[in-house]
Structure 1
């Protein structure tokens, strides 16, 4: 591996280590070739996410990024670390270009859509922003069987995104985004005013638990084909799912305080979970 490529992968690793300790911990168990590829894919996703959430002019910046990605797909050599690393990944694996495009579509949804009517809409959004990441990673984690694993990877992505939604309710409200389905809120008698007033009452807990149970069902679906992955990928994938799923239990123990706190699984808890499933 050239010095330039090695440095590009190191920069991608720095990005995931700083922004997703859960995924970094889990996928660090992969062999180095796959591990580097995961870092590069994560750096791509992080850049799009940061444009939408932190960009000064996200619509323009996202159009610029899409143009860059079009050039990349057409074989042009782009000289930033993420593109250098990603080119090496695309050269080594049978990558799913549509998944990358769909993920960008999902991020664009956050620029124009701030409330969701039904769980079906939430799941479609979750596919675009999270299941697509699983589809990106599949050829890296399971080069020979990735096509037959797509449905379960989509389920796992939906599970993780619903977990994100349930963890980030307060943070999303600050951005004027509400991912709790309106029909479920109406069914439980929980109003948008209650949400902005940060009311944790029986109706809120019932909504939260309904979505958490849905996420847990998708975790089960997503992991049912674990035996079809190469042995080297099984523990990292299972670890990522279990570490993410543990966030739900953490929130339950903290009495659903998601408006003012962002709940994480501690390093010690992560190590205990990984040890228990290995």
Structure 2
């Protein structure tokens, strides 16, 4: 398989897995866009090893063994590893967030309830902030150390905001898997229980719980935006676009009257165009 064919397959994975992500990063130059697609494919494959496998622990272990082989220079077969090897050669990649993402996948194997919002946000770091940290060497190859540290914090904030958005959008789907990422303390604060959540009713109490988490996500989106000017012009708009399109999911859920049990909140093509026009 040629390198370009490997990248083409990775871009298809990204397009199929997240149109929002694909649309935002299509604004990059072709080499950078391809690199983002390779990293996305790594993340998607790792996630699928847990969520789509009949034997998730074994699948996760096998995938991480392949990654260890890759890091040792013994590339496994497949488009992902061909594309990722090229990324490794072209950018100064940091391996730590790749393993931290795997830690988040391990949480999904053994943890189905969260006590506090801080604990949920820690999961958000592992599940999403790590992706932003993976992409920094691609998006900001020549940042000075001070700017890089500020951008790291911005990437962390944006990742947690995006994961909170995912959680709020997918409450119904997660209940089907017996997973509740909404923290128990927040439910109790608004006189709700897990049993109430499983009834899948949009009550005034549920709306208060949902909006408390949404407000926290919006605060983190604002914090992340304060660092966007530090990105090079070539990658600034894709990052801004990703943030805008993801944050738009919150308003889409509100437009559905907070019904995240029977409706899936998404930003329409028309609304995506309007949001991107703001850039």
The question of a shared fold, defined as TM-score above 0.5 by the shorter chain, is answered with: yes
Residue in 2 that maps onto 1:75: 73
Residue in 2 that maps onto 1:10: 8
Contact 2:256 2:263 in 1 (8 A): no
Q: How far apart are the structure 1 equivalents of 2:262 and 2:53?
A: 24
User: Is 1:143 paired with 2:133?
Assistant: no
Residue in 1 that maps onto 2:224: 222
Residue in 1 that maps onto 2:116: 118
The size of the alignment, in residue pairs, is 275
User: Is 1:44 paired with 2:42?
Assistant: yes
Q: How far apart are the structure 1 equivalents of 2:216 and 2:278?
A: 24
**Shift, 1:200, TM fit:** 1.0
Residue in 1 that maps onto 2:207: 205
- Which residue of the other structure, out of 178, 181, 198, is the alignment partner of 2:180? 178
Residue in 2 that maps onto 1:102: 100
**Shift, 1:162, TM fit:** 0.1
Q: How far apart are the structure 2 equivalents of 1:36 and 1:253?
A: 34
**Shift, 1:275, TM fit:** 0.9
Q: How far apart are the structure 2 equivalents of 1:267 and 1:241?
A: 16
User: Is 1:65 paired with 2:63?
Assistant: yes
Q: Secondary structure at the residue paired with 1:240? A: helix
Q: How far apart are the structure 2 equivalents of 1:134 and 1:34?
A: 14
Q: How far apart are the structure 1 equivalents of 2:107 and 2:47?
A: 11
- Which residue of the other structure, out of 191, 194, 206, is the alignment partner of 2:193? 191
TM-score (norm 2): 0.97
The superposition leaves residues 53-97 of structure 1 with CA deviations (integer Å, 9 ceiling, x where unpaired) of 111111001000111111111111222100110011011111110
Q: How far apart are the structure 2 equivalents of 1:76 and 1:150?
A: 30
The 10-residue stretch of structure 1 (267-276 or 116-125) with the greater mean CA deviation from structure 2: 267-276
- Which residue of the other structure, out of 155, 167, 170, is the alignment partner of 1:168? 170
The superposition leaves residues 121-142 of structure 1 with CA deviations (integer Å, 9 ceiling, x where unpaired) of 0010000000000000111011
Gaps of 5+ in 1: none
Q: How far apart are the structure 2 equivalents of 1:260 and 1:82?
A: 35
Q: Secondary structure at the residue paired with 1:165? A: helix
**Shift, 1:147, TM fit:** 3.0
TM-score (norm 1): 0.97
The 10-residue stretch of structure 1 (125-134 or 223-232) with the greater mean CA deviation from structure 2: 223-232
Q: How far apart are the structure 2 equivalents of 1:142 and 1:220?
A: 20
The superposition leaves residues 20-73 of structure 1 with CA deviations (integer Å, 9 ceiling, x where unpaired) of 000000100100110000000000000011111111111001000111111111
Q: Secondary structure at the residue paired with 1:265? A: coil
- Which residue of the other structure, out of 88, 91, 96, is the alignment partner of 2:89? 91
**Shift, 1:178, TM fit:** 0.1
